[in-house]
Structure 1
C-alpha cells in the first residue's frame, strides 16, 4: 500500500497525544495511550477517516515515539488492523498477533485488547458495523445467524483468499484518493461494502465458515441441487416433501438425498426446516406488538405440529419462540 492514504479525508495532524487519543476514540473504541519512551518532544500524529456505507476506513500514524494502547471498553464492531508501515503487537488475553506487512489482526465484538505500536507506525483500521455484517451473513446463509460472528484474530495476508481481500481494500483506497471516484457515489457504497464483507467472511476463518463452505460447495453442485434450493427458498411454506422436490428437479428422491448430504451436509427435509425456522425467527423478531402469535407464524411457514416446532426452535436459537416474540415487543 502507499505510505500515505486518505489524505483527502484528514481529520487531525498534531503533536499532542491527548488530542490524538481523543480524536481516534470518536471513530474507534475509547482507550488509554501511553508513550513507551521518556522524551515525547518529537512526537507527531496524523488521523484520517471516511466511510463507505457500513464500512469505515480509519488511518492513524504515530511518529517519534513507541506507544502502548489499552482499550478501556469492549469493541462493539469488527476491526481489521492492517499495517502500512511498522509493526503493532496486539494482545488478546493470552493470544498475540504481530501486525505487519504479512499479517493483520481481526478484532471481533466484546473483545478487549492491548496494543504496542512501533515508532512511525502507520495503520489502517477497516471498521465494519456489527449489525451490517450479521445481516450480510444471514443473506449469504439464507437463514438467521443467532450466534455472534467470531473471527480467528490472526489473519495471514499471504494466503490466496486474504490476499484477494487485501487487494480489494487497496483498490478502494486508490479510488477514494481520486476526487469524484466511484466510492463517492452513494449508489456505489453498497457494492463496495458488500464486497468487503463477503470477502472477509470467506477469507478469514470464523464460527460460520463450515456453513458458508457447505453452501459454496452446494452452489458448485449439479444444477438439480441448485434448483431444489431455489424451490425451497422461493416458498418455504409450500409442500416440500422429498418426493415433490425430486419431481421438480427431475431427480429420484434417493439421488436428491445423496446430493444434498454431499453438498450441504443435511437432508432436503433438514434444509427445509432450517429455512422455515429462519423465516419464523425473522418474523417473530420484527413483529409489531399484538399483531401475531407464535402459533400463527409457525403455521404460516409450514410447521403443522406446533409443540414439535417449538422444540426445534429452542434447539436452534437457544430460547423458546415465545421469548423471541416478547423481546420484539
Structure 2
C-alpha cells in the first residue's frame, strides 16, 4: 500500500468537501469549491500542511468528482502547483495553464485564479512567502528589487533546470517523512530551514521571470556602467536623504540626462522610481519588524525614510505590497 503524502502533517482525512475547502483556505487562499457536475459527489478528501518557515508544502487530494475552485481573494505569496496525479486547469485573466505531470502552474502575488480539478486529482502546493522570496532575490542581485517578481505561469518540468527543481521538491517530501531529516532542522519560527533557500534559488534560476535577465547578467559577470553603480550605491546607503537626480548625477560624474538614460537602459526604471522603491522596502522591513507595544507609527516610519507626503506614500505602498502600511504594522513580526 502506498504511503500517504506528508503523512506526519495530515490535517484532514474525511469525506466532507466543506472540510476540505476550509482547511485548504486556511493554508492558502479562501475560495469557493463546488463539484463541476450537479450529481457529482466527493467520496474522499485529504489535506496535509508542512510549514517550514518561508516555505510551506500543502498537499491535497480528492476522489469522486471533478471540482471547480474560484479564489475569492488575490494571493499574497508565490504558489507553485505540482500535479501528483490528474490534471488542473488554472486560469488567471487571459493566462491559462494545464497542470499535469509535465507542467507546473505558478500563481504570483496579486493574481486571482480559477481552477478546474479533475476527478481523483492530487496536488502539491509549494508556497513561498512573498517577502522572503523577494529578499532572497535581492541577495542574489545584491540590490533592492523594485517591483514584484512575476513568473511565467507555465513551468515546463521537462526542461533540465525545472526538472531538477521538481526532483528536489519530491526529495523534500520524502525527507519530511523522517523526523530527523534536514526538513526538521530550523524552520517555522525564523525561516532558516535549509530547504527554503535552496528551493528559492532553484526556482529563481529555473523559471523565467521579470528579473531573469538581471540574474543572468550577474551570474555571467556582466556589470552596470560605473555611473549607475555609484548612484545605486548612494541610494542604497542613504535612501532617506534628499537625493535629487541632479545630486545623483553629480555623485556619479555624469549629466542628469545621461544618468536617466543609463538607468533606463540598465535598471529599467528612472532614478527617482528606484529611490522610491528602496524607501518603500525600508519602510516595509521596519513595519514588519515592529513589535506590539513599541509605539511605532506608520507616519513616523514613512517620514524617517524620506516620504514627506504620507497619503501619497500610502498609495505607493499599497500598489507595491498589496496592503496598506497599517496592515503590515498590525501583522505578526517575521
Question: TM-score normalised by the shorter chain: which range applies?
Answer: 0.7 to 0.9
CA distance in 2 between partners of 1:21 and 1:125 (Å): 14
1:320 Cα deviation from its structure 2 partner: 10
1:274 Cα deviation from its structure 2 partner: 2.7
1:294 Cα deviation from its structure 2 partner: 3.6
Corresponding residue to 1:271 among 229, 236, 245: 229
Q: Secondary structure at the match of 2:4?
A: coil
Question: Is the alpha carbon distance of 1:199 and 1:170 closer, same or farther for their aligned partners in structure 2, counting shifts above 3 Å?
Answer: same
2:216 matched to which residue of 1? 213
CA contact (8 A) 1:61 1:122 kept: yes
Task: Find out whether 1:314 has 2:295 as its counterpart.
Answer: no
1:64 matched to which residue of 2? 64
Unaligned runs of 5+ in 1: 219-262, 285-292
Question: Is the alpha carbon distance of 1:181 and 1:145 closer, same or farther for their aligned partners in structure 2, counting shifts above 3 Å?
Answer: same
Matches within 5 A, 1:1-329: 4-41=4-41, 43-186=43-186, 189-218=192-221, 263-264=222-223, 266-281=224-239, 284=240, 293-294=241-242, 303=251, 313-317=271-275, 325-326=306-307
1:22 Cα deviation from its structure 2 partner: 0.9
CA distance in 2 between partners of 1:169 and 1:10 (Å): 18
TM-score of the aligned structures, taking structure 2 as reference length = 0.73
Q: Rg bigger for which structure?
A: 1
Q: Secondary structure at the match of 2:220?
A: helix
**TM superposition outliers: structure 1 runs of 4+ over 4 Å:** 302-305, 317-324
CA contact (8 A) 2:146 2:278 kept: no
CA distance in 1 between partners of 2:122 and 2:306 (Å): 47
Q: Secondary structure at the match of 1:325?
A: coil
Q: Secondary structure at the match of 1:127?
A: strand
Q: Secondary structure at the match of 1:178?
A: coil
CA distance in 2 between partners of 1:9 and 1:154 (Å): 28
Question: Is the alpha carbon distance of 1:3 and 1:121 closer, same or farther for their aligned partners in structure 2, counting shifts above 3 Å?
Answer: farther
Unaligned runs of 5+ in 2: 261-269, 280-301, 308-312, 318-324, 326-334
Q: Secondary structure at the match of 1:193?
A: helix
Number of aligned positions between the proteins: 270
CA contact (8 A) 1:62 1:121 kept: yes
1:75 Cα deviation from its structure 2 partner: 0.7
- Render the CA deviation track for 1:161-196: whole Å, top value 9, x for unaligned: 111111211111111011221211217943210011
